[in-house]
Structure 1
Amino acid sequence: MEWFKKIMYGRYGGDSLSGALIVLSFILLIISNVLPKALWFVVIVAYIPTVICVFRIFSRNIYKRQMENYKFLKIKNTMRNSLRRKLNKLKDLKTHKYFTCTNCKQSLRVPRGQGKISITCPKCKNTFKGKS
């Protein structure tokens, strides 16, 4: 184990982006096994994320690898939060109705069954009518 520590000294190592690249590679390999053998280039494409992952793990440019991981995590969290918001909207669909402010495009949640009401946006104070 000591030899591995010597090899990895000063190198970046694994992170979230490296793990995602390995998962992507496995998914592409599974797809390549399902597809007909005529699509041999899919197998070659499946190994590209693995090569990139190994390069990132053994890289000595730590700052650059950290910035790549930071950008990946930023995109991943944005997509996760967007999906979470959409799932929450689906859960609340029976009890609440969603409106979009005509002025600032803010999403507003109003309880259902109130009839025709006047809705005031808390962000821009714009008032508009809607049926809940």
Structure 2
Amino acid sequence: MYRFMQGRYGLDRLSQVMMIGGLVILVIASFVRRPVIVSNIIYLAGIVIVILGYVRVFSRNIQKRYRENEKFMSLTAGIRRLFSKEKYMMKQRKDYRIFTCPGCKQKIRIPKGKGKIEITCPKCRTKFIKKT
């Protein structure tokens, strides 16, 4: 297997998204029953997307696949950043309360269990009272 994959592009984020997206479309197509032609078109689209994902994995044109992946990553950077930020905030919610400054909308992280405290925004120096 190692020798077969030598000189091939391999799995990247775009290939993963294509294969998983194609499988999701195939599952959706299995639930669409009424207009058979619509179900078949959705099913065919799912198969084509999965096949294109595998073609990318086994491609020998590494530079072209790399450029495609870089373009995909730059187009989805904002969405990925949003999800990453939300994941980080969810992790912090266990030990900290996150408050928003009424003056500048800066998010401020305060440890839980401190009672009613006066919070000073580090950005704009606005003071406000909150319960942690």
Does residue 1:52 correspond to 2:52, yes or no? Answer: yes
Secondary structure of the equivalent of 2:21? helix
User: Is 1:105 aligned with 2:82?
Assistant: no
Identity over aligned pairs, percent: 27
What residue in structure 2 maps to residue 91 of structure 1? 94
Residue of structure 2 in register with 1:129 after alignment: 128
Structure 2 equivalent of residue 69 of structure 1:
69
Give CA deviations for 1:68-127 in whole Å, capped at 9, x if unaligned: 4341785675254233134235535xxx54221244432112335632x431223x2522
Residue type at the aligned position of 1:131: K
Could you tell me which of 9, 14, 28 is aligned with 1:12? 9
Identify which of 6, 22, 25 aligns with 1:25: 22
Question: In the alignment, which of 31, 40, 53 is matched to residue 34 of structure 1?
Answer: 31
Q: Is the partner of 1:105 in helix, strand or coil?
A: coil
* TM-score normalised according to structure 1 size: 0.66
Could you report, residue by residue, the CA deviation over 1:15-67 in whole angstroms, capped at 9, with x for unpaired residues? 2321232122112111111221413221122123224313423151x234224
In the alignment, structure 2 segments of 5+ residues that lack a partner are none
Q: Is the 8 A contact 1:16 1:69 kept in 2?
A: yes
Aligned residue pairs total 123
Structure 1, unpaired ranges of 5+: none
CA contact (8 A) 1:118 1:127 kept: no
Distance 1:131-1:103 versus aligned 2 partners, 3 A rule: closer
